[in-house]
Chains A and B, each alone.
Chain A
Amino acid sequence: MSEINRKSIMNTAYHTMHPIDDVNIDVLKSIYRFMLRLRKCQQALIKEYHPANEMRCPIHFCIGQEAVPAALSMLLMKNDFLFSHHRSHGYFLAKAFSLRLLFAELYGKATGANGGLAGSQELSVHSSNFYSGAILSGMPAIAVGTALSLQMKNMPNISVAAFGDGAPDEGIFWEAINLVALKKLPIVFICENNGYSTYSPQLKRQCSDNLSERVMAFGIPSQSLFGNDVVAVYHVIHEAIKNARDGKGPSFIEAYTYRMNPHVGPEDDDYLNYRPKEELEFWRRNCPIKLIEEQLFRFGNMNESEKATMLSDIDQEIDDAFCFAKASPFPDNLNWDTLNYANTSPMADRLLIETDLKHFNQDQDYAIPRPY
């Protein structure tokens, strides 16, 4: 049984990366660029949040947690489904790509991903099969049903659910684990274990801080790993996705990582002293972007000018997204009824027959229910 847990991960002061030479260099550079773009985007949003106060929704930033979404961005097909928790910007970009859609949503604008109705915590892009939400373990449970439909329809696609270590506090999480094992569903569960549910450490809430041991008991291939090594994360997710596509059933991955920003919003929350200093220092030293960057530079595949070009392109895109979001109109002419109900039924119109009440015998016999 695996001995990996948060403590064992932190026993290695400086992590060395999984060798990069078995991943295509273009893929590696795309992963690196994805992580840089995500980090830059988070930093820009944090900077812009106050005092402008134009983004008026809770935002859960994901600085330090770039590795899993970056790996997924390279591995998912267009028709795969991705379900995310509320710290969702990385997953959003992995599946839906557009900074404009993301920023406009944060500004509550009509041009946002959800037309300004959902905000950061519940981003979704239906046409990209991307969904997220703020209630813990809601999305992994829904991902199960999508996996079931993909299996029934014999689709080549899979369902991926990403969540934090808070989700397995919920009972429904284990109902989901049981069902995917029972039905051998094409699904990959990825836990970004950042050690805290808001301010509550995992070992205050759970009997162990290794989740894959527990999931393995259901007969699901499960693996825990140092989640800031994006190459290792890439390999593990790659294999899990391949197994799901090949009809070999579900996998569970637990990537130990860390959130370098506060739980929510732009203001620091470490004054609350809920995270040990050594812990923060360890994860700062082992920043996922720094680790891959060192490898890319050391092995001569990348140089400073290439990085500078990437950064200036990213800055330009971020500026463009801010301009787009700020210039976009707020939603108007809302109709509460049609927002909440379809009220059209094209399928029923096509398949069902209109009849009328004259067929109805209103003197139906008055029966006494039988004992049961």
Chain B
Amino acid sequence: MRQLTYSQAINEALNQAMEICSDVLVLGQLVDFKSGIFGTTTGLAERYGSSRVIDFPVAESLMTSTAIGSALGGMRPVLVHQRLDFMMYSMDAIVNWLSLWRFKSNGKSGLPVIIRAIVGKGWGQGAQHSKSLHAWFAHLPGIKVAMPSTAYDAKGLLLESIFGEDPVIFIEHRSLFSMSSNVPETPYRVRFGRAAVRRKGNDLTLIAIGGMVPDALKAAHQLAEQGIEAEVIDLRTVSPLDKENIYTSVEKTGRLIVVDPGWESVGIAAEIIALVSMKLGKGMKVNPVRVCLPDSHTPMSAELEKIYYPNVNFIKIAAKALCNKK
């Protein structure tokens, strides 16, 4: 089967969505520019025109409100933020308007607004270009949060979001953009709330999210060489969470590590461990572990990045400790 990179897959999803449905819009700073947001919007303006591929003023707050209003008028807008950090100006629009719109209308009015947010990592991105605030958004009722880790999921989840009826924060980890996987040419869907078991194993459950999935898989392969068979679950969406798949795996292995590209405290890892503890309690063989970012803002220096970001080794060390192996 044909392979595409993660960014090509996003580009193809947008292209197909705009072709299938003339109500689909793309808004963002320089979405119509040649380089096309790391290739994800390349060619769209040429094909669909600048009225549907809208280079927006540097006004993230209004951009989100504009998307909300356009959805009321029947559009299906996709916003693009080159960095998730830039969308912080739009928190009022997201929290006070977008997330509660359906609720307060008593189900009569919905807003299919998609917010693509790219998270930087490495090469000194620093504290204002690297935050992955998926736990914040997952905390909000009324909003779904997608975190695809593969090109296949990026395309399928983006199409599912655009043609769904709920608002979606679509978080893309920049470190995934040049990775490739098999991607069907048809417009297909990947459902929310359905995790993917990327690797089967009986000794340990590794739950990974977004940019940490490749690391978790690599760690699992290396652990297998040392006799530890890890099951790797890619959550794909953090809101809603696929609780059943999580429970089933941890019931089988009795050991849990959550690998979360967010800060350690009060995050998705904490939520998953809470859920599993409430469900299985003493049924677990050992206490669960989380591998996360330290509770600190991101350093620029390359040497500090190495210790700040969890990597394959972090996961292996945690796994071996959990399985009582050196």
Q: Do A and B come from one complex?
A: yes
Q: Which of B25, B66, B72, B180 contacts A364 (CB 8 A)?
A: B180
Contact between A355 and B66 (Cβ–Cβ < 8 Å)? no
Interface size class of A (residues with CB under 8 A): 35 or more
Closest partner residue, chain A, to B150 (CB atom): A364
Q: In the complex, what residue of chain A is closest to B221 when comparing beta carbons?
A: A363
**In this assembly, does A148 line the interface, its C-beta being within 8 Å of a C-beta of chain B?**
yes
Query: CB-CB < 8 A to A172: which residues of B?
Result: 59, 61-62, 65, 92
Q: In the bound complex, do residue B163 and residue A372 qualify as a contact, i.e. CB atoms below 8 Å apart?
A: no
Residue of B nearest to A119 (CB): B104
Q: Of A116, A135, A359, A365, which contacts B184 at CB under 8 A?
A: A359
- Name the segment of A49-57, A139-147, A308-316 touching the other chain: A139-147
B104 to chain A, nearest CB (A): 4
Q: B63-89: contact bitstring with A at CB < 8 Å (1 yes, 0 no)?
A: 001111111111101000000000000
B253 at the interface (CB under 8 A from A): no
A176 to B166, Cβ gap below 8 A?
no
User: Is the C-beta of A217 less than 8 angstroms from some C-beta in chain B?
Assistant: no
Alpha-carbon distance A350/B321, docked complex (angstroms): 49
The complex places the Cα of A149 from the Cα of B159 at a distance, in Å, of 21
Contact A359 B104 (CB under 8 A): no
Cβ contacts under 8 Å, B141 to chain A: 336, 340
Contact check, B61 vs A175: say whether CB atoms are below 8 A apart.
Answer: yes
Q: Is B14 close to A, CB under 8 A?
A: no
Q: Tell me if A364 and B179 are in contact (CB < 8 A).
A: yes
Chain A residues with Cβ under 8 A from B316's Cβ? none
Given contacts A138-B97, A179-B59, A179-B62, contact A81 B72 (CB under 8 A): yes
Residues of A within 8 A of B175 (CB): 369
Min distance, Cβ B131 to any Cβ of chain A, angstroms: 17
A interface footprint on B117-133 (CB within 8 Å = 1, 0 otherwise): 00001110000000000
Q: Which of A100-154 contact B (CB under 8 A)?
A: 114-118, 122, 124, 126-127, 131, 133, 135, 138, 141-150, 152-153
The smallest beta-carbon distance between B20 and chain A, in angstroms, is: 6
Residue A171 is within 8 A (CB to CB) of chain B in the complex: yes
Q: How far, in angstroms, from A258 to B84 measured CA to CA in the complex?
A: 42
- B56 to chain A minimum Cβ distance, whole angstroms, is 8
Which of B62, B123, B152 has the most A CB atoms < 10 Å from its CB? B62
Taking A149-B75, A342-B164 as contacts, is the C-beta distance between A135 and B70 under 8 angstroms?
no
Stretch of B105-113, B242-250, B262-270, B287-295 that contacts chain A? B105-113
A355 touches B73 (CB 8 A): no
A271 lies within 8 A of chain B by Cβ = no
Judged by a CB distance under 8 angstroms, whether B278 is at the interface is no
* Residues from chain A with Cβ under 8 Å of B26 in the complex: none
Query: In the complex, what distance in Å separates the CA atom of A145 from the CA atom of B163?
Result: 19
Q: Is A204 an interface residue (CB 8 A)?
A: no
Q: Which residues of A contact B179 (CB under 8 A)?
A: 364-367
Q: Is the CB of A345 within 8 A of B65?
A: no
* Chain A CB within 8 A of B308 CB: no
B314 an interface residue at 8 Å Cβ cutoff?
no
> Are B73 and A146 touching (Cβ within 8 A)?
yes
Contacts of A141 in B (CB 8 A): 61-62, 65-66, 69, 93
Contacts of A367 in B (CB 8 A): 178-180
Q: Is B181 positioned at the interface, with any CB of A under 8 Å from its CB?
A: yes
**Assembly CA distance A364 to B196 (angstroms):** 14
B170 within 8 A of A: no
State whether A179 touches B156 (Cβ < 8 A): no
Is there contact, CB below 8 Å, between B105 and A135?
no
Q: Shortest beta-carbon distance, B218 to chain A, in Å?
A: 6
Q: Is A332 in contact with chain B by the CB < 8 A criterion?
A: no
Which one of A141, A351, A364, A366 has the highest number of Cβ atoms from chain B below 10 Å of its Cβ?
A364
- Which residues on B sit within 8 Å (CB–CB) of A142? 65-66, 68-69, 72, 93, 97
Known: A114-B105, A142-B93, A342-B102. 13 other contacts (CB 8 A): A115-B107, A133-B96, A145-B68, A145-B71, A148-B73, A149-B69, A149-B75, A338-B107, A341-B144, A348-B159, A352-B188, A361-B182, A372-B38
Task: List 8 interface pairs A-B (beta carbons < 8 Å), by A numbering.
Answer: A118-B104, A145-B73, A146-B72, A172-B59, A336-B141, A362-B199, A364-B180, A364-B214
Residues of B whose CB lies within 8 Å of any CB of A are 1, 3, 20-21, 25, 38, 51-52, 57, 59, 61-62, 65-75, 77, 92-93, 96-97, 102-110, 121-123, 141-142, 144, 150-152, 156, 159-160, 163-166, 174-175, 177-182, 184, 186-189, 196, 198-199, 214, 217-218
